[in-house]
């Protein structure tokens, strides 16, 4: 079984209102990991360098920085700090 990455970031919100149930399609922004409700009247914002759906805030920012790359950079910084002993001291464990 293969997982289609375009479907892995999709979902739905079910709202119960006075007019009954309303179901809205959602997606997860590739750059900041926020969940965005799709407006059926407007196409979603697309990051042109990575061709992924992004929220309006990330689209307006104009930089292509996928969330996974941000996590990798953070992990690298933490590992560098751990190797120097800075991280453990900063959280009071050394």
pLDDT in tens, 38-49: 988 998 899 999
Q: Provide the token pair at 61.
A: 């920012």
Q: Provide the token pair at 72.
A: 């990798």
In this structure, what DSSP letter does residue 71 have? H
CB-based contact 45:56 (threshold 8 Å): yes
Residue 73's pLDDT is 92
Across residues 64-90, what is the average pLDDT? 84
pTM of the model: 0.66
């Amino acid at each position: 079984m293969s997982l289609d990455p375009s479907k892995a970031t999709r979902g739905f919100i079910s709202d119960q209102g006075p007019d009954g149930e309303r179901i809205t399609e959602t997606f997860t922004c590739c750059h900041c990991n926020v969940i965005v409700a799709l407006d059926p009247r407007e196409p979603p914002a697309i990051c042109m360098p990575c061709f992924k759906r992004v929220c309006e805030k990330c689209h307006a920012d104009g930089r292509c920085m996928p969330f996974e790359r941000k996590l990798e950079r953070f992990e690298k910084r933490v590992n560098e700090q751990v190797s120097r002993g800075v991280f453990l001291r900063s959280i009071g464990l050394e």
